[in-house]
Structure 1
Amino acid sequence: MTHAFAVDRALVVIAFKRRLAYKSGWIFGLALGGGSMLISMAMWQNLLGGGSLNGYDWSSMRAYTIIGFVAATMVFGAADFQIADRILDGHIAVDMTKPVDFQRARAAEYVGSMISTAPTAALGVLGAWLLFDPPGPVTPMAGLLTALCFVLLFPLAFGITYLSVLVCFWTKRYMGIMWLREALLSFFSGLMIPLAFMPGWLQAAAWALPFPHFTTTPAAIYLGRVDTAGALGLIAAEAAWVVGLWYAGRLVFRFAVRKVTVHGG
């Protein structure tokens, strides 16, 4: 067990250092994500003005937008292509001969790449805080529970990404899969617009998926739209998705590797 955790830690560090080598990626991520956040802030400020919409006023929307920015930076900035490439270029055949669990190793690498997005997220939040002065969490407990939501985002994001990457066994391509996953996540998480603005049937469909836990859940807890019991329920649901997606990934992988196709000479 100790050896397994040592391997996990080593893979996290390697993935983190690999991403550190590409500092231009930080600048690009900050410019792209930070620019999108500023545009979103300006849009909501003009739309809401001094009023409110479905329980969201300009003050709460400032915090909501920043939470969405942090989640998007973490999730969209992780190195999912490295996992897909191992399947598409045939390295998966070599990985299967190693005494290391493939899914667990990829999870460690994915978490390491997500941690490397921290400087981009921190700089973006600092800039937004100075420019827009968003409200803090409604209570210290809400702040702690929001932080717990973000911790669970690491395994939750990996679970969704890993399942989508495994589709490469059948499609032999990944770009389209990635675009579809990111579009679904952006829409059903509430990143584009809060789920509260959507029709009831669409909200129900969204909550039947793991995506709302990327933005709507931490924002609801942070802004006090749910009480402590409700917040714990949302976190429990998020944790359940983490476990369910992990085992779903193992099941799909076991089925997928029955046939490995390697392209090349």
Structure 2
Amino acid sequence: MSSAFAVDRAFAVIAFKRRLAYKTQWLVGLVLGGGAMLVSMAMWRELLSGGALSGYDWDAMRAYVIIGFITATMVFGAADWQIADRILDGHVAIDLTKPVDFQRARAAEYIGSMCSTVPTVVFGVAGAWLLFDPPGPVSVTAGILTAVSLLLVFPLAFGITYLTVLVCFWTKRYLGVMWLREALLGFFSGMMIPLAFMPSWLQAIAWALPFPHFTTTPSAIYLGHVDTAGALGLLAAEAAWAAGMWFGARLIFNQAVKKVTVHGG
């Protein structure tokens, strides 16, 4: 067991160091993400200047946008193309001959790359806190549970990303699949607008998917829109989605590798 975790740690460290080698990505991520956050803050300040909307006033929205920045930076800043390329260029055929679990290795690499977004998150949140002075969590318990929700974003993001990457076994392409995933995640997670602003039927569709747990769940806990029991229920659902996608991906991978077609020169 300890040797397996040592292998996982090695893959994660390598992926982390690989991303550290491209320090410009931090700056680009900070500029793009921070710029989007500033635009969003300005927009919501004007829209909410007259009062609250669907339970969100200006104070709540400041915290909501910052949480959305954190989750968006973590999810969209991770390296998913490296996983897809292993399938598209045929390296997966070599991986199958190695005494290393393909999914665990890719999960370690993905989480290692997500950890590389921490500097961007820290600088972005620090700047937003100084500029906008958002409210703190409604309670210490809410703050702790929010942190747990954000930690669960790591396996949840890998699950969704890995499942979409596995589509490459059949599509032989990844760009369009990635765009579709990012569009669905950005909309149904609440990163673009809070789910509370959507029609009830669209909210029902969103909550039937794993996407709301990226932004809506941590922000609802942080702002006290749910009590402790409700927060624990949301965390349980978030963990269940992460576990379900992990084991579901194993089943799909086992079917996909029964016949591997390699394209290249």
Sort the TM-score into its range (normalised by shorter chain): over 0.9
Indicate the residue corresponding to 1:210 in structure 2: 210
- Secondary structure of 2:134's counterpart equals coil
Deviates more, 1:56-65 or 1:41-50: 41-50
Report the count of equivalent residues: 265
Q: How does 1:2-21 map to 2 (within 5 A)?
A: 2-21=2-21
**How far does residue 264 in structure 1 lie from its aligned partner after superposition?**
2.0
CA shift for structure 1 position 45: 0.2
Ranges in structure 1 where 5+ consecutive residues have no aligned partner = none
Question: For residues 181-232 of structure 1, what are the alpha-carbon distances to aligned partners after superposition, in whole Å with 9 as ceiling and x for unaligned?
Answer: 0000000000000000000000000000000000000000000000000000
Matched-pair contact (CA < 8 Å) for 1:15–1:109: yes
Alignment of 1:43-62 (within 5 A): 43-62=43-62
Consecutive unaligned residues of structure 2, counting only runs of 5 or more, are none
User: Is the Cα–Cα contact under 8 Å of residues 187 and 193 in structure 1 kept in the other structure?
Assistant: yes
> Does residue 80 of the first structure (1) align with residue 80 of the second (2)?
yes
**Residues in 2 aligned to 1:40 and 1:32: alpha-carbon distance in whole angstroms:** 12
Distance between the aligned counterparts of 2:216 and 2:235, measured in 1? 12
- Counterpart CA distance in 2 for 1:260 and 1:246 is 21
How far apart, CA to CA, are the structure 2 residues paired with 1:139 and 1:264? 56
The runs of at least 4 consecutive aligned structure 1 residues that moved more than 6 Å come to: none
Separation in 2, partners of 1:26, 1:173: 27
1:160 match:
160
What's the TM-score once normalised by structure 1's chain length?
Answer: 0.99
Q: After superposition, where does 1:30-179 map in structure 2 within 5 Å? A: 30-179=30-179
Deviations 1:150-189 (A, max 9, x none): 1100000000000000000111110100000000000000
Partner of 2:28: 28
**RMSD of aligned alpha carbons:** 0.5
Kindly indicate whether the alpha-carbon contact (under 8 Å) linking 1:50 and 1:58 is maintained by their aligned counterparts in 2.
no
Q: Per-residue deviation at 1:30?
A: 0.4
Contact 1:64 1:219 in 2 (8 A): yes
- C-alpha separation between the residues in 1 aligned to 2:248 and 2:42? 40
Match of 1:237 in 2: 237
Identity %: 77
Pair 1:197 & 2:197 matched: yes
- Say whether the 8 Å CA contact 1:189–1:215 is kept in structure 2: yes
- Paired with 2:119 and 2:79, the residues of 1 have a C-alpha distance of 16
> Could you tell me how far apart the structure 2 residues matched to 1:186 and 1:130 are?
26
Residue type matched to 1:179 in 2?
W
**What secondary structure does 1:52 align onto?**
coil
- Corresponding letter in the other structure for 2:9: R
Q: 2 CA distance for matches of 1:46 and 1:194?
A: 16
Cα displacement (A) at 1:50: 4.0
Per-residue deviation, residues 14-57 of structure 1 (Å, max 9, x unmatched): 10000000000000000111000000000000110140100100
In the TM superposition, residue 258 of structure 1 has moved relative to its aligned partner by 1.1
